[in-house]
Amino acid sequence: MSNNTESGASAAMTDGFHLLLDALKLNGIETIYGLPGIPITDLTRMAQAEGLRMISFRHEQNAGNAAAIAGFINARPGVCMTVSAPGFLNGLTALANATTNCFPMILLSGSSEREIVDLQQGDYEEMDQLAIARPLCKAAFRVLHAEDIGVGVARAIRAAVSGRPGGVYLDLPAKLFAQTVDAEVGRASLIDVVDPAPRQIPAPDAIARALDLLRGAKKPLIVLGKGAAYARADEAIRTLVERSGIPYLPMSMAKGILPDTHEQSAAAARSFVLPEADVVLMIGARLNWLLSHGKGKTWGGKAAKAWGAQKFIQIDISPTEMDSNVRIDAPVVGDIGSCVAALLDGMGTQWAKPPSAWIDAVAERRTKNIAKMAETLARDPQPMNFHSALNVVRDIVRDNPDAMLVNEGANALDFTRSIVDMYRPRKRLDVGTWGVMGIGMGFAVAAAVESGQPVIAIEGDSAFGFSGMEVETICRYNLPVCVVVFNNNGVYRGTDRNLGGGTDVAPTVFVKDARYEKLMEAFGGVGVYATTPAELRAAMEEAIRSRRPTLINAIIDETAGTESGRITSLNPAAALKK
């Protein structure tokens, strides 16, 4: 672009559109997930022209979820771009969810003109977006001048990935894009962020304290969370587990850091090890609801904690995570890679393994549960149930360990988590900390785009409905995604009755025998209606082989599910029944 100067000479100019794209490119951002419209339509076109990959969605929440999980997969911020007010709000749920899950993400949103918004004069899509985003994300910034775009993007990147990762909002009023700047000045204003997520080395005394506690343990346990998967310290974590000989429990998205078939995995003995352990080493996992807040029945009842019978060592990058639910006896604050390396240094090579009584007890419970599970999986009921269907998925994932697995639903989630073993890190992507439905197709798109690997999405029929229209996106970009809808005719199951006796079906019940596979066929993908494990197996194998967008409508016994899956007790009415 060039403008005539007063002297008549031509000076190269740039503008807000290009400065933003240049700033992203300079920092290694290759893909933008978004949805065009005023004021960002041209920005999305220019992004393609400038060599960025623009993945355009049907609803911003799905684009946001895609960006969030791209952040988790790559440990770099995933970027989502939305239009003002309604588009921004659609993307905001994903930004808040990313922040809750500690995924680095940047939501870039066009916004309306400050002068009009602030006087509430009724601008097109008027909304004070910055104020609304701020409490829902880790950081929020607005850029008003094209010369500040470089700083705005740099601040967003640092805020998203440094310390505890999270979601960042960057507000870009429409006028910014058309501002012009001398190209040389513009280029000089951009920042190539140096060391965006600096290592945080733990204090030596914190390491010594943790090792003292671990050394004295009779029944130690390691809990691996999704922070451990995010940290990409896979080798160090494996060495720590194996050298220490301590049984470990992977949280859902930590499955696969070590293969689930590892002999030290205590996943199949969860309800035994949590209350029994005397020293628990938490690595990148929070003692939130998913771990019963570190107390109560799951952990051996009141007595266990009150008597200090259970001690906690916690490795986390966020110092304020310590003592959030129970006393942390040995806090280790730092990045997981550095902390685990320091623990390994301190342990040396002659570390004594835990007492065999503990190892044997865990192994016994594990073997018993695995045998029980094998028995259930071997059954072949008519109609197909969660177990017989997941027995197929389990084999397919075992045979394709690099495939990405997306998973949401209630029973469809909980049974998949315990039945389908994972073999590699960062392959299992699910509803996370909030247990949120709707991540499915956004995660599946990003998993395919970012990894290039086949994606298997195991979806409850309700869960699928939250993002189902994105099968068009999957077909449009011809992504190797195999969606399996576990169709049990409703939320949890399909047999509930209208308690008022009217003609409306119960709130949890859907149209019977819905033909979800036709949705995929409508856009040129492959649709399969599967009523038996053999049909499901053949369809999944073909989907993986062909890499064609596929939706398998897996018909599951509508009576098979339980209310809220494994978390029935969290329903308020459960308290009334006690």
Footprint of ligand OXT (CB under 6 A)? 252, 267-271, 290, 369-370, 373, 409-414, 417-418, 431, 435-438, 460-463, 486, 488, 491-492, 561, 564-567
Q: How many CB atoms lie within 10 A of CB 197?
A: 19
Helix ranges (DSSP H) in 122-233: 129-133, 149-161, 174-178, 183-189, 204-215, 226-230
Q: Is 288 a binder of ligand ADP (CB under 6 A)?
A: yes
Number of residues that bind Mg ion (CB under 5 A): 3
Binding-site member from 488, 516, 519, 549 for Mg ion (CB under 5 A):
488
Q: What is the total residue count of the chain?
A: 578
By beta-carbon proximity to ligand OXT, the closer residue of 24 and 410 is 410
From residue 9, alpha-carbon distances to 4, 6, 12, 289, 473 in Å are 6, 7, 10, 66, 47
Q: How far is the CB of 481 from ligand OXT (least distance, A)?
A: 18
Interacting residues with Mg ion between 450 and 479 (CB under 5 A)? 460-461
Partner whose binding site includes residue 150, from ligand ADP, ligand OXT, Mg ion, none (CB under 5 to 8 Å by kind): none
- Name residue, tokens 């960057």: 170
Rounded CA-CA distance 98/225 in Å is: 16
Q: How far is the CB of 199 from ligand ADP (least distance, A)?
A: 9
From 107-115, 148-156, 219-227, 554-562, give the range in contact with ligand ADP by CB under 6 A: 219-227
Contacted by 254, from ligand ADP, ligand OXT, Mg ion, none: CB < 5 to 8 Å by type: ligand ADP
292 contacts ligand ADP (rule: CB under 6 A): no
- Taking phi over 0 as left and psi of -120 to 50 as alpha, with beta for the rest, 137 belongs to beta
CB of 248 to ligand OXT, least distance (A): 13
Angstrom distance (rounded) from CA 90 to CA 64: 8
- Residue 137 dihedral angles phi and psi, to the nearest 5°: -140, 180
Considering only residues 230, 312, 423, 516, which one is a binding residue for ligand ADP as defined by CB under 6 A?
230
Q: Which residues of 460-488 are buried (b: 16+ CB within 10 A; e: fewer)?
A: bbbbbbbbbebbbbbbbeebbbbbbbbbb
The amino acid that residue 159 corresponds to is A
Q: Which of residues 251-280 bind ligand ADP (CB under 6 A)?
A: 251, 253-254
* 385 is a site residue for ligand ADP (CB under 6 A): no
Whichever of 22 and 461 has its CB closer to Mg ion, that residue is: 461
Q: Which is nearer to ligand OXT, 48 or 562 (CB)?
A: 562
Q: Is 76 an interacting residue with respect to ligand ADP (CB under 6 A)?
A: no
Q: Which residue, 180 or 369, has its beta carbon nearer to ligand OXT?
A: 369
Considering the complex, state which of residue 384 and residue 429 has its C-beta at the smaller distance from ligand ADP: 429
Using CB under 6 A, which of 138, 226, 417, 426 touches ligand ADP? Answer: 226
Question: According to CB under 6 A, which one of 167, 227, 294, 465 is a site residue for ligand ADP?
Answer: 227
Closer by beta carbon to ligand OXT, 321 or else 414: 414
If one asks whether residue 416 binds Mg ion (CB under 5 A), the answer comes out as no
Burial classification of residue 394, based on how many CB atoms lie within 10 Å of its CB (0-12 exposed, 13-18 middle, 19 or more buried): middle
* DSSP-derived secondary structure letter, 10: E
HSE-CB of 448 using CA atoms within 13 angstroms: 26
Q: Which residue is nearest to ligand ADP (CB)?
A: 227
Tokens of 19: 């400065």
Burial of residue 533 (number of CB atoms within 10 Å: 0-12, 13-18, 19+): buried
- Write out the binding residues for ligand ADP, residues 135-164 only, by CB under 6 A: 164
Q: Which does 471 bind (CB under 5 to 8 A by kind): Mg ion, ligand ADP, ligand OXT, none?
A: none
Q: In the complex with ligand OXT, which residue's Cβ is closer, 38 or 377?
A: 377
Contacting residue, 10, 318, 498, 546, with ligand ADP by CB under 6 A: 318
Torsion sign over Cα 244, 247, 252, 256: positive
User: Given the complex with ligand OXT, which of 312 and 486 has the nearer CB atom?
Assistant: 486
Q: Does position 102 bind ligand ADP by CB under 6 A?
A: yes
Cα four-point dihedral sign 437, 438, 443, 444: positive
Which of residues 78 and 480 has its CB atom nearest to ligand ADP in the complex? 78
Place of tokens 């499901």: 536
3-state secondary structure 449-491: HHHCCCEEEEEEHHHHHCCHHHHHHHHHCCCCEEEEEEECCEC
**Residue 347: CB minimum distance to ligand ADP, A:** 19
Binding residues (CB under 6 A) for ligand ADP: these are 101-102, 164-165, 225-227, 230-231, 251, 253-254, 284-286, 288, 290, 316-318, 321, 335-336, 433
Binding residues (CB under 5 A) for Mg ion: these are 460-461, 488
